[in-house]
Chain A
Amino acid sequence: MTVPFLILAAITLAGAVAAMTLRKLVHCALALAVSLVGLAGLYLDLGAQFVGLAQVLVYVGAVVILIVFAILLTRGDEPPSPRVGRAVGGVVISACVFAVLAWAIVSGGAAQGASAASLAPISDIGHAMMSRYILPLEVVGLLLTAALIGAVVIAMEEKRRTK
């Protein structure tokens, strides 16, 4: 429970809470960006340089932009105000999810604190990706290619339809 960890956790939580409660949707997206930056900070605090920086590069640089474009291109400003029944259901579900995640983390032994020797230098990550995890890497690449082609096809369909 060091000071950097507390500050970063506070930033992450504040960003997440703001993303839930702010009125304008674009503000929520930007608060989500703050929360993701906080998460990246937590990764860096743990010593996982590559993961933390890739988090910023991918999430803040691309995913947040994607979310913002999606907001701008589809709906307007304000989300619909939730009814009370829905709020109760939401609280129950999120409590259950939290319980499951907390049990998984605590029983996994990671809460005991990571030792400094388990820092993974990038060359190790690279080696692992190319030797042990080569199949998942290729599958992910295939998935991304399929998504890209799908997006282009959908856009082309619309262009053909609007012509």
Chain B
Amino acid sequence: MRYLVIGFFLIALSLCLSCESFVSLDPPATQTSTQIVFSNESTATSVVVGNYIDMFNKGALTGISVTNGLYADELRLHSQVELVEYYNNALTSQNPSVLGLWSELFSYVYSANSIIEGLEKASGFDLSVKRQLIGEAHFIRALSNFYLVNYWGRVPLVTTIDYRINLNLHKVDVSMVYSSVVQDLVVAEELLYDDYSFFNGDRGRPNVWAAKALLARVYLYLGDWSNAEKYATEIINRADLFNLADDLDDVFLVNSKEAIWQLKSVYDMGVNTTDGETFILSAVPSRFSLSPTFVDDFDEGDQRKVKWVGVYEESGLRYYYPYKYKIKSGVPMPPITEALVIFRLAEQYLIRAESRANLSNFQGAVADLDILRKRAGVDLLVDSGVLDDTADLLKLIYRERKFELFTEFGHRWFDLKRSGESVDILSQIKGTYQKTDDLYPIPLNELNADPKLNPQNDGY
């Protein structure tokens, strides 16, 4: 009996020596292996939409309406320590929200690369879906690189998910980043669906028109006027898909005909858009409000001031806020009726007007501007005599952009930089803006983690 027990015990011990299998575990139920994810249509789609969920939830990219608004001349700061650096144009490399934006944008680049790499290897599902997903990945990567280059100038171009390769990357010239953005968009144009029917008319997923809209914007930023005009025209010509909303209050509704791509709320109720949530005032502002000087600058009778600027009054004081989005959230929890518009038709008119002005098609430019001015209820330019000077017309175009696109995805500051007026205009208002403030500092954490990102941008 004793020997039996000892023997049993020794067998048990020797089992331990070969108990390799005891410590090899299956993936937990909460994690799905990458191989499986990309060999399946629905899970691959889930990876793609994961990016939009992150955009909605992480909020650094969608938050540029606020940060750019403060950094430029749209918003007035009341109190919020973290935002003071934006308002004073005194960002430091340790600013957490600068790091947030940087890493959020690069996380989309990673995700896009993983989708491209994963799906190119995968087989066995519907080709058109696969093309759309790869197209979306290229679009997402282009969008991210577009913002990276506009905030930081020279940045590394990341095209793989292998960190060992990526750790050796150096920053590349701005033109190289742009050409990669263009390349990605051209590929996306090839691959993406060309209308919204695949999503039952829902405008929440980018299709070929989103790619074209970004291309038009990219060419505009690059000063490639004819390409900018070409792409804007292609979009404007699709009246079956896109129309300007007659009522300014309808522009930002879910699936508005003016929207080319909008970011949908990830909820069924409650927060519709982060812009509505953060801008709309229901008390004396403790963070930021629309700058009174900005509001005063609107033309007399501009319906955009009437409909898109909200007013909160308390003890004789008036505070303004952007009111493009009407729903703040709160009680009762509203159903989702608004969505954050990232590309819309009005911008394409402005892109085309600017391109035409630069190409000396003054009539065409004025016509495009007047379409927007008419909707806004202000005097038409065509009635105010001949406009045949590019510079004069550009001034009007930038002014139109200011009031049409205010606090929308950071347009204002990018426009000021593009026009070369950022220092002139902003230093008048705040006195602190310098040329080097046209670029953000590379976050210190990143410089520490990757010394190859040196040198830091000037002025930091």
The answer to whether A and B interact is no
A-contacting residues of B (Cβ < 8 Å)?
A: none
